[in-house]
Amino acid sequence: MTKNELLNMIVEGTVVTAEMAEKATEILAADAKAKEARKGKISEKEQAKRDANVALARRVATEILGAEAMTASDVAAKLTDLLGEEVKVQKASSLCRKAVELELAVATEVKIPKKGAQKAYTAV
């Protein structure tokens, strides 16, 4: 019995037989095995995206961040000018956090008038 035949029998409302139950058990086992094999693997597209973000974080740390503390808003503005396409503050913040994770930058709290405390980043 094939998977297609099993599903057709279920749709038709056929009474479940021992053969159908056995086939369903096989399908579930195969699905569980395939799911376990995929678990922990990163797709090529996701890996390429991560690699690009790491490279961009390194670029931010070397070309944009300096001795003067910069907020994510400032980094986004400079990155937009550098890349020629709009970079949102959330993306800039993510890249700065990645630079800190890679130990290429340091995060500190700065007080900005009328905004309160924000994280600012400096190159190491």
pLDDT, residue 39, reads: 83
Query: Percentage of residues in the chain with pLDDT exceeding 70?
Result: 100
**Residues 18-65 pLDDT 10s:** 888 888 888 889 998 988 888 878 888 999 999 999 999 999 999 999
pLDDT, residue 101, reads: 94
CA distance 59 to 113: 29
> Residue 18's Cα: distance from chain center in Å?
44
CA distance 40 to 50: 15
CA distance 43 to 16: 38
pLDDT, residue 5, reads: 82
Domain range summary for the chain, segments of one domain joined by +: 3-38, 44-123
What CA dihedral angle connects 71, 76, 79 and 80, to 10 degrees?
A: -150
pLDDT, residue 7, reads: 81
pLDDT interval class at 74 (50, 70, 90): very high
* The CATH number, out of the four listed (1.10.3720.10, 1.10.10.10, 3.20.20.80, 2.130.10.10), of the domain defined by the range 44-123: 1.10.10.10
CB atoms within 10 A of CB 110: 14
pLDDT, residue 55, reads: 94
pLDDT, residue 89, reads: 94
